[in-house]
Amino acid sequence: MIALRGITWNHERGIMPLVHASSVFQQKHNGVNLSWDARSLADFERFPLEQLADRYDLIMIDHPHLGSASAERLLAPLDELIPAAFLDEQQANSVGPSHRSYCWEGRQWALAVDAAAQVSAYRSDLLESAGLALPQTWDQVRALAKALPSSTAIGLPFVPVHAFASYFTVTAQLGGEAFWSKEEDIPRPVGIEAINLLRTILKEAHPLSVHGDPIAMYERMSTTDEVAYVPLMYGYSNYSRAGFRPKTVYCGNIPSDTGEPAGSMIGGVGLAISAKCPYPDLAAKFAMMTAEASFQRSDYFANGGQPGHRSAWKDAVVNEQSSGFFANTLRTLDLGSVRPRFNGYIPFQEEAGELIRQAVVDPREDERETVHRLNKLIHRYRPSQACRRS
């Protein structure tokens, strides 16, 4: 018996499609046992990859881990295991920059089996009962927050890693580029405007926001009538499926004052293979089966997954069964921004997220100084950075 172990994150979207895919794979490959463990969303976002690569053969990863993974040779380069034609097809059918986000230093390290970015989320029934329209601009977000009934509020997940995500998205949108990803400092006026924008939103937000992550916010939105709208939150299509939770949460493009929902920080999950996997060719076959177009828009989605293949995002049945989640957020993902992936990025993101959260939660913090500290911080974690802006 050949045994392969995988690690993912503990949510229906993270574990269910992989368990099903493993069952299908085992039926096709006698003598193979493929099992999965799950970890919390917080662990997924920051847990040291080297500890996982020692214990698991297949790893669902977040693309900012690639710098350290490459430097420490933790993952098997997929371009040595998977035909170029298959990788080219994946790139041609990527949702936004999802596929290339797992390409680092000329190698492909994971397949984008799951695509996501910050989108907006809302309860259409609560907005309609209050006679309010879905916001399209940031001024409309502010107006909505003040117009909602006292029993209902807007939300904004703002634990440090998601405070970082929202700041990254807003600065990329306001400035027209993901500055840190291009080894440029965030310009002071852009950074200050982003902090002040997030302050005005968080000031009106549900108390859960300050200590909540996206899963906690979706759970609150889908089980109570306390939160009607969130302008920036990673998309989870599960909550847009009828019957998944008592209340259906709809999703759409993020607000923008430019007319285009640009800048959203790309998330999603890539399926990677540990460099220590004793059966890399077999693991690669599983990865290809899971990422293949027809599997993505059928079995993967049907078992709670959020596909990474573009054909699934445009599929009529998939959208019908998810309240239009994929079609209604695709533009945001196509215009999304990719985080830096240098070796040392993860601790930078954690420390920067704390600074951003503190500056937004406490209006006494000096915005100008916060932007200076953030740009100085990334220089410390990436000392070779040659920034061209101040």
Q: Tokens at residue 264, please?
A: 């959203």
Residue 389's pLDDT is what? 37
Tell me 259's DSSP state.
S
Average pLDDT over every residue of 130-135:
97
In 3-state terms, what secondary structure has residue 10?
coil
Residue 273's pLDDT is what? 98
Are the C-beta atoms of residues 57 and 6 closer than 8 Å to each other?
yes
For the chain, the structural domain boundaries read: 2-116+267-326, 118-265+344-390
Percentage above 90 pLDDT, the chain: 93
Q: Could you read off the pLDDT of 139-152 as tens digits, one per residue?
A: 999 999 999 999 99
Q: Tokens at residue 226, please?
A: 């306390």
Are the C-beta atoms of residues 225 and 155 closer than 8 Å to each other?
no
Torsion angle, alpha carbons of 269, 274, 278, 282, to 10: 30
> How far is C-alpha 382 from the geometric centre of its chain's CA atoms?
23
* CATH code of the region 118-265+344-390: 3.40.190.10
Strand arrangement, sheet containing 118-122: 153-154, 227-234, 118-122, 250-252
Name the least confident of 50-54, 203-207, 257-261, 375-379.
Answer: 50-54
The end-to-end CA distance of the chain, in Å, is: 58
CA distance 166 to 339: 12
CA distance 3 to 24: 15
Residue 388's pLDDT is what? 38
Q: Could you read off the pLDDT of 302-349 as tens digits, one per residue?
A: 999 999 999 999 999 999 999 999 999 999 999 999 999 999 999 999
CB count within 10 Å of CB 367 equals 18
Residue 312's pLDDT is what? 98
CA distance 221 to 244: 12
Name the least confident of 38-47, 49-58, 282-291.
Answer: 38-47
Same CATH fold assignment for domains 2-116+267-326 and 118-265+344-390: yes
Q: For the domain made up of 2-116+267-326, give the CATH fold.
A: D-Maltodextrin-Binding Protein; domain 2 (3.40.190)
Phi, psi of 226 (to 5 degrees): -85, -30
Residue 379, CA distances (Å) to 71, 303, 343, 390 in order: 19, 43, 13, 12
pTM of structure: 0.94
The sign of the CA dihedral 40, 41, 45, 50 is: positive
Torsion angle, alpha carbons of 90, 95, 101, 106, to 10: 30
Q: How confident is the model at residue 39 (pLDDT cuts 50, 70, 90)?
A: confident
Q: Could you read off the pLDDT of 70-122 as tens digits, one per residue?
A: 999 999 999 999 999 999 999 999 999 999 999 999 999 999 999 999 999 99
Residue 131: left (phi > 0), alpha (psi -120 to 50), or beta?
left
Task: With a cut of 90, say whether residue 41 has pLDDT above it.
Answer: no
Average pLDDT over every residue of 275-284:
98
Average pLDDT of every residue of the chain: 95
Are the C-beta atoms of residues 362 and 370 closer than 8 Å to each other?
no
Q: How confident is the model at residue 49 (pLDDT cuts 50, 70, 90)?
A: confident
Q: Strand pairing of 153-154 and 250-252?
A: unpaired
- The vertex-172 CA angle with 200 and 165, nearest 5°, equals 65
CA distance 229 to 156: 9
Task: With a cut of 60, say whether residue 386 has pLDDT above it.
Answer: no
Task: With a cut of 90, say whether residue 357 has pLDDT above it.
Answer: yes
CA distance 236 to 11: 10
Name the least confident of 31-40, 128-137, 166-175, 291-300.
Answer: 31-40
CA distance 291 to 307: 8
Are the C-beta atoms of residues 245 and 143 closer than 8 Å to each other?
no
